[in-house]
Structure 1
Amino acid sequence: MGTERSNVLTVSDLHVKVQTKEGASTLVQDINFKLEKGKVLGLVGESGSGKTVTSMSILQLLDRKTTTIEGSITLQGRELNGLDDKEIRGIRGKDIAFIMQNPMNSFTPVFTIGNQFVETIRSHTALNKKQAKELAIEAMQNVNLPNPAKLLKSYPFQLSGGMLQRVMIAMAACLQPSVIIADEPTTALDVHNQLQVLRHLDKIRSEYGTSILLISHDLGVISEMADDVVVMQHGRIVETANVYELFDNPQHEYTKKLLNARLSIKHEEPITHML
């Protein structure tokens, strides 16, 4: 019973199909995993393996006119699959937050950062504008953003990719959600900003007990952050293991290929540095 209680997010028998002109096509099938409180679960695989489709299903962001989601997705025991738009909007951002791969896509270019940050807070709380602004500033300070009050008056295009990513993390964390889904959160960043983003995510996990579903094709990021790992290929899970077991003793041939590809890139790195 204790284990069930510690599972914040449970995905059971998830099947996602999309309707095309040629007929129905399966995007992911037989997806089963659990995310425990305060843990980081890594979801890995090549582009097109079904990682993002899985996360979009959890968030109920797929187009309902063309896609069918079968199976169960529970957040703290509450079924998400099939909730209407109003109900799921009340949960997204407050109980389950999303950090996108490209931070520029997360913001509307014609509104200031402050306008979007404050409205996000106010849509999920009873705070007034002044209180919401104070919370936004505090959240931005927590991710080491300089001069938050000035940044709130800026437009998205006036900030670097690394700064926008940190604003997005601040927005995701400020309402202390149970789960943060981070979809390739470091892909568009340089090494310094990658490290900062990962440190901030780890800080959120340790301070608030937030669970993180970390989606990445970068096994270096997964080895640094994850407690457990789910490996996906062609829309299916091919291996699930503790992070140490996965790296020390991979079972599936596909996992071995992913690890070998990473090792060969690492061996080539010193040559690149010398050039």
Structure 2
Amino acid sequence: MSSVLYDVPGPRAIARNRILAIVTVAVVLALVGFVILRMLETGQFSAEKWFVFTFSNVWMGIFNALGNTLAAFALAAVLSVILGFVLAIGRLSDHAWVRVPVTVITELFRAVPVLVFMMLLYYGLPVVGVKMDPYWAVVIALMAYNGSVLAEVLRAGVESLPRGQGEAGYAIGLRKSGVLRLILLPQAIRAMLPVIVAQLVVTMKDTALGFIITYPELLYYAKQLTSQQGRPILQSAFVIGGIYILMCLILSGIARWVEIRTRRSTKVLGIVAGAADPRTHEEGTDTELIAMQRGAGKFHGTSTGA
């Protein structure tokens, strides 16, 4: 007996998988136990190591550093998405004089590491008489790298769609800009949303690189805490790492909520289209007819001269 994608495991395969699962769990628990044991033996759970976190000024400093991290991430994320759209549209252009320079810029931004970009902006520009604030060095570096990555994500999403999607838009008289804006990009964003969110999570975590150019974000403040009484190195890492984990979980939760909402709106649109035209129940025509109806709704009365 087999399914469409793989053979159903037999008794031996099931037993083998269970053994592997038990061994994996045992190894993970052993490693966790070893780490906890070593921390106990070295006194990492002692009150002295956590004493610094009993002061309200320390937590105020953590919250200020968190605000700086979120400020850099928020602006960098918005600019990265905007830059990603611009570069993606440029790479999809039919004109070589647009496509080629945009391709060169995209590949250049992707090739330069974020840390190198930050150091060039902060330490390199003063050599030519231009001084840049650490905040803007972090934001611009994150925008350039992540924007170029998002451009490739969006371009791949558009090019992965069936050709009939674009042809349906052209059939009702839309220009290429209308096809991209009304039909292709909305579907590409919906399909590539998990990848986009993953890249935004990377953007958030890469703000920690700003501590090298003295930007006062979370990691920079954690480094200052390690020099306090008791040398709370691991403790600072646990606290700051926990904050990063919480922020990533919140961002992923928001993305999941947006994905569910967009999926629900797509289903409602399909029901309405099916009620208006029985042909939408035929296999393989749903998406193209819905796209045509969406485009026609925006196009009607506005592009008759196209």
Normalised-by-shorter TM-score class: under 0.3
Which of the pair has the greater relative contact order for Cα pairs under 8 Å at 6+ separation? 1
Q: If you compute each CA radius of gyration, which structure gives the higher value, 1 or 2?
A: 2
So what's the TM-score if we normalise by structure 1? 0.22
Higher helix content, 1 or 2: 2
Higher strand content, 1 or 2: 1
